[in-house]
Structures are given as structure tokens and as C-alpha cells.
Amino acid sequence: MQMPEPDRAVLARRREIAADLRRLLPPDAVIEAEEARRVYESDGLTAYRGLPMLVTLPRTTAEVSAILGYCHRHGIKIVPRGAGTSLSGGALPLEDGILVGMARFNRILEIDLDNRAVVAQPGVTNLAITEAVKGAGFYYAPDPSSQIACSIGGNVAENSGGVHCLKYGLTTNNLLGLEMVLIDGQVIRLGGKHLDSGGYDLLGIVTGSEGLLGIVTEVTVRILRRPETARALLVGFPSNISAGNCVGQVIASGIIPAGMEMMDRPAIRAAEDFVQAGYPLEAEALLIVELDGPEPEVAALIGKVAAIAESCGATSITASRDEAERLRFWAGRKAAFPAVGRISPDYYCMDGTIPRRELPRMLEEMARLSEKYGLRVANVFHAGDGNLHPLILYDANAPGELERAEAFGADILRLCVAVGGVLTGEHGVGVEKRDLMGVMFDERDLAQQQRLKCAFDAGGLMNPGKMFPTLHRCAELGRLHVHGGRLPHPDLPRF
């Protein structure tokens, strides 16, 4: 059977680009075969898939620079990819774009205990940084549930948080410096080992930019002394409402726990069956509250939080007696996402943030939406800072269920914005929330954000189709900075 003319043209173009890239990179750094490319067809948002035109696996900053410089000259789109754990489709490939995988950037370059800093390549996993310094009594505070797999470069792209972000902040609060390659191949450095830099906060701009501005090739993060004492409270409640009220009262009392997480009944049961962490199965809601610091201070705070919990109607209160028990309490929470995967064929993980005072209302509304859409929901979230992670349970093989799950999730995010919150806390916008950006921002807001995008990437080649529901041409917006690039760029693909 003869290949159709368009397909032959696409194949010829792919071969031409692959041949060019092999002249710039080692032979094993370019992946052309379809089976090998299919490994990269999706990230953690598995409902959407696409086959990249080509995959490159560079090892050095110079190789990343060569790739981006080539794509810039030839008008080829780029999708950066870390570990592929993104839950918003941020690493979803493009059929007419080159995927740049950063997995080979996997070395810790420097451990500087005097300056309390670690310099690492972007493919190093989050947990590996803590493992590298724990022998000296230090750790890296942001700890996403996927920390055993997610990369520090991906954490920078999404501004990831974790269960300890309430007290110690997100990635942006623990990032000191980075090296980044721009679309034309230029290598820049932002920040260093110092806490603050003069001038514009370019480091803050890049953090959470989801691969739209460039590719990070080196990261410098702040490490902290491990606290003298850390203990966790496991508190069961008769309702989500009473647990939500307790969260607000603890923070209102002036106590800032190291972590404050909440799980509802479906999540509690799934996690306990999976991990046997000692969770109270009779509880409708569960709070895990961790206090850290000097031992006398922690003991006093444990008593104060327990008293507040009792006043809110807690049905059970258990304090960890040793480090092993504290880690076991957290093991259930950290494994909540895979645990829920055992009770449903599929689940859709949402990410929105609300003011703490709105927790009870949000939980009531999500229960109502669950009935409306006929889909179960398990709630696992960072209660202390209002970052919700509802898990909508569905079966992708059942006609219409994925569509209902998406509509359910969209309603949750609209409600987050309506009560004074935002569309995302740490998972990013990607393609998942892209078409909801208009709920939170008006056209002027979006246009200003895109002017910033144009300052870095006037040709719209870096991770196009992500974040913005409609991407204006840079010439229409008025550029903040002219730095090469081609205008106008083609319309961006929709998914």
C-alpha cells in the first residue's frame, strides 16, 4: 500500500531533523523510532496522549543549547520533560515538536553545608537531595507526594510544594539560583547561593513557568537543619466540617504546624488498607498535624493542638511516640494517591487552592457535586494552606465517565475561584486548566502574562499549547523585549 503524500512528507521532515540533530548530539541522544517515542506520549495526566515528532536526551548544558538554538533557527517547537510526573499535562508532547528529556541530568554537583545549599542537575529526584545531606543533619523541605520520582527541575517548573509547605514554603521559597537555556541557545544564570538578588525577580518568574520560558539545566536549593524534635498527631473527626473547623482554629491560635494534612473517609480507608498506618477507620475525616522544634516546645504545642481538636469534636487523638511511628503516620498520606487507585479503575486528581475559612463550604459543595455527577470523590489535601487535591473516581472504559469527571473537576476549580482561591496550588495549569484561565483572569491579565512570555520566546516555540487558552501573536501584544524569534508563529494546537 502506498503511503499518502502528507505522511511521506512528515516522515521525510522527521528524518531530516533527526539527521541534523545527530550531527549536533551523540547518536544515542536522538530517538526516532516510533516504539521508543511512545514511551513519552503522556505524563501523569494520562487521559491525554500524543506522540512527539522526535525525542532528544541531552547530557550537558551545551547539548541543550545546541538543540534549542537549532529549533530556534528552524522554527521547531520544543516540549521540556523531567520525570513525567506532571498531573496537568505540562509535559504532554506535540506531534510537530521535539521533546527534550532531562533524565540524564541526574547528578548532584555540590553540597555546600557552610552556605546551606545544594547544587543539582534538574533530573535529580526531590528525595535524592535530602538523602544526600541527611547524614550531616540537613534536609530539603519541599516534599511532594511523588518525591521519590519527581525531579527537582520539574519542581521548579511547577513550583511544587508538599506536606511540609505550610511552614517551610513551596519550591520558590527554597530556590536560590538556577542556570537556564533560552530558546535561542543562550545560557543564563539567575541568583546564586545568596538569599536575595537585586533587580527584577527573574528567579520568581521562572519558578512555576511550566517550561514556557526556557529549559533549566542546573538548580541551587536551600537546605535546612533537621529539627531537634518532630512529632505528629493523628486526629479523627466525625465529619469533614468539624475537621475543617479545627484547621482554621489551629492557625487562628497562632500555631503554624510543619504540616497539616486532611483526608476524608474514602481516602482514610484506602490508605489504611494499603499501608496499615494505624488510621482510625471509624473517622469521617482525619487530620495529620506535625509539630517540630525543640522538644519542650513541641510537647507544649502537641497539648495545645489536642485541646483545640477536642473542642472541635475530635473522636480520637493519637500522638506519635517515636520517629518510626511519625513516619508511619505520614506513609499513609504519602501513599494516598496510589492507594485510591486500588479502589477505582481510574481517578482524576484535581488541584485548587482556597482560603482556609472556606474549607467547610468547599467540602459540602464537593459532596453535592459528587451526587450531581454520579461519581465518588476522595479528598486528600494540604489543609493548612488550603491546597485541595480531590480525587474524582471514574472508569475510563465506561462511556461518558471521563467527560463527567472532567466536568466535575472544572466545577470544583470554578468554585475555588468563586470563594477567593486560585486554579492551581502546585500542579500547574498545563492543558488541564488552560481553558479555565478565563475564569480567574480577564483578557488584560492574560495579555500581560503573554507579553512576559514573548520577552523570552517571541516565536512561541517553548511548550506551546500550554497555560494560555488563546495565545496572541507577540506583534499584537507589543513586545517587552526583542530577542530574535520569528513572527508570526503558527496557530497553536488544541487538545
**Which segments within 64-164 are labelled E, that is strand?**
77-81, 97-101, 108-112, 117-120, 138-139
Average pLDDT in the chain? 91
The class of domain 108-225 in CATH terms is alpha beta
The predicted structure's pLDDT at residue 6: 61
pLDDT at 52: 97
Q: CA 262, CA 245: separation in Å to the nearest integer?
A: 12
Whether the bond between 399 and the residue before it is cis, its omega within 30 degrees of 0, is no
Could you tell me how far CA 425 lies from the centroid of its own chain? 8
Q: Rounded to whole angstroms, how far apart are CA atoms 111 and 135?
A: 12
What is the DSSP track for 384-416? GGTEE-EEEEE-TTSTTHHHHHHHHHHHHHHHH
> Do β-strands 259-264 and 285-293 pair in parallel, antiparallel, or remain unpaired?
antiparallel
Task: Select 5-101's CATH number: 3.40.50.720, 3.30.43.10, 3.40.50.850, 3.20.20.70.
Answer: 3.30.43.10
Name, in order, each residue with C-beta under 8 angstroms of 188's C-beta and a sequence gap of 6 or more: 179, 180, 181, 182, 214
Q: Give me 162's grid cell.
A: 508538599
For residue 61, give the C-alpha cell. Answer: 548544558
- The pTM (predicted TM-score) of the whole model is 0.90
Q: What CATH class does 344-430 carry?
A: alpha beta
| pLDDT tens per residue, range 60-95 | 999 999 999 999 999 999 999 999 999 899 999 999
Sequence-ordered alpha helix ranges (H) in 335-471:
336-340, 359-373, 401-418, 437-440, 443-456
For residue 461, give every residue at least 6 positions away whose Cβ sits within 8 Å of its Cβ, in sequence order, or none: 71, 72, 75, 76, 77, 78, 183, 485, 489
pLDDT value at residue 472: 72
- Kindly give the parts of the chain with pLDDT less than 70: 1-6, 471, 475, 478-495
Same fold yes or no, 5-101 and 108-225 = no
Output the pLDDT for position 241.
Answer: 86
CATH of domain 229-337: 3.30.70.2190
User: pLDDT value at position 489?
Assistant: 27
Q: Give the residue extent of every domain in the chain.
A: 5-101, 108-225, 229-337, 344-430, 441-495
With beta carbons less than 8 A apart as the criterion, state whether 183 and 460 touch: no
Cell of 158: 511547577
pLDDT for 482:
29
